[in-house]
Structure 1
Amino acid sequence: MLTATLHNSLIQNLPPEDRAALIAASVPVDFKVGHVFLEAGDQIEHVHFLNSGIISAVAAMKDGRTVEVFMVGREGVTHPSATGPAPVRSYSRHVAQAEGQSRRIEVSKLRELMNERHGLRAVIAGYASGLQAELEQSGTCNALHRADQRFAKWLLRCHDRIDGETLHLTQEYLGSMLGAQRTTVNEAAQTLQKAGAINYSRGKITITNRAALERMACECYNAGGGESAARA
């Protein structure tokens, strides 16, 4: 089992009594790369506060194309809006992009805790608001920015959420995350590599110069929080 140390920023920012109540009501869960937490249309029965790893929310079109809508790491929780009074279904597929550990809690239990504890309610509401802002920004980003800029932004966001400098990602997977063809992803990766920002080989991406990668990323990286709690 992976380490059970709490690194989730939302949990760390809770008042001590609220933190203890949430931990008591949740269980640690290890997950591997590729694990599917939910498919689009599934009813949301649990949410995950990530201590490590990355979960991607991926939208799929009828023709089989996919694109990542957003990612969650140790800065957040999956489905923060699922705690309302009515059952909620997922709009996207949730899949592990990097292995890690979370604390899983039933939506019904989390709803009860939020009704009782203002601190918990405020922390989750704040995260949900920030995620909504990121989603709104991403629409502009996907329409106006080049593939290499968006690729740099995406790599920075991944780097914020993992330990170490290396990501193991195939061209096919990168294409599905960025909503781009394999050739476009390869060209974007080569652009970043020529600039000395990354080393890219056989599905392995090593960030060799983060400052260079930040310079090549579009403005949406900083607009989305940049070096935020995800890297803390």
Structure 2
Amino acid sequence: MPQLQQSTVRNRVLRAMAPEDFARLAPHLEPIALQLREVVIGPDAPVDDLFFLESGMVSISTAHDERRVEVGLIGREGLVGAVPVALDCLSTPHVYFVQLSGEAFSIGRAALCAALDESPILRRLLLRYVHTLIVQITQTAYAHASLSLEGRLARWLVMCHDRSDSDELVLTHEFLSMMLGVQRAGVTLAIQNLEGAGRIRAKRRRIEVLDRDRLLALTNGSYGTPEAEYARLIEGA
């Protein structure tokens, strides 16, 4: 099998690596398919494998099944499992599950940690990514505390839009209510209000983004800081 080439991958962390660091990881990267709602890292379970997403999205959420709330979102800009592994933790209390099916490269914890031990530059890059994810999580906490449901939904849709190849997002009201930590009726009303204002178009199991700028206007500063940190620390490195 020919060796994976850095120029062919879509994951932005892999693309941001120094060529010699990518070469360290390439023999250990295994292409896999991620299925909708698949749990890739369970709560309090050993983090044995990590995932560089090429497409699709993975949610980081609280582990309470009766009131699960999303606290973080990872797409092809990131590495699923980076926080517990980079910070030398064996596990995490959160659950990481597939929100939108897609493709990824998996890598074993041992192989990644060996590469981090060999390359301080690679370790710095991964820690910088961890920082941007922590900033995203703090902005999510701010959004939950200060925004209306419509504002929180608008922020979440823009974040999903960033990680999608289309203006049309595959989402159900049930899933949205779980991710936003509210009743389904509240999500339905918020969607209707956003649609009535011409910001989105709701379809069965899908939401189409019509006016991204007007969605951003509802986020009240809760969107943009993590994205700017990512551009500065990862893509500007």
- Normalised by the size of structure 2, how large is the TM-score? 0.89
Q: Does 1:61 align with 2:64?
A: yes
Offset of residue 82 of structure 1: 2.8
Q: Deviations over 1:124-179 (max 9, x none)?
A: 01000111122222222211111100100000000100101111211111000111
CA distance in 1, matches of 2:156, 2:48: 29
1:168 is aligned to 170
CA contact (8 A) 2:42 2:94 kept: yes
Q: Percent identity, please.
A: 30
CA distance in 2, matches of 1:108, 1:37: 17
1:117-136 matches, within 5 Å, as 117-136=119-138
What SS does the corresponding residue of 1:60 show, helix, strand or coil? Answer: coil
Relative distance call for 1:85 and 1:185 in structure 2 (3 A) is: closer
What SS does the corresponding residue of 2:31 show, helix, strand or coil? Answer: strand
Q: Does 1:184 align with 2:203?
A: no
Q: Does 1:42 align with 2:30?
A: no
CA distance in 2, matches of 1:214, 1:85: 33
2:154 is aligned to 152
Offset of residue 216 of structure 1: 2.3
2:91 is aligned to 89
2:10 is aligned to 7
1:98 is aligned to 100
Q: Which consecutive unaligned segments of at least 5 residues does structure 1 have? A: none
Relative distance call for 1:197 and 1:86 in structure 2 (3 A) is: closer
Q: What is the identity, as a one-letter code, of the residue corresponding to 1:101?
A: E
Q: Which consecutive unaligned segments of at least 5 residues does structure 2 have? A: none
Q: Does 1:224 align with 2:198?
A: no
Offset of residue 227 of structure 1: 11
1:25 is aligned to 28
Relative distance call for 1:175 and 1:48 in structure 2 (3 A) is: same
Which structure: greater helix fraction?
Answer: 2
How many pairs align?
A: 226
Q: What is the identity, as a one-letter code, of the residue corresponding to 1:150?
A: R
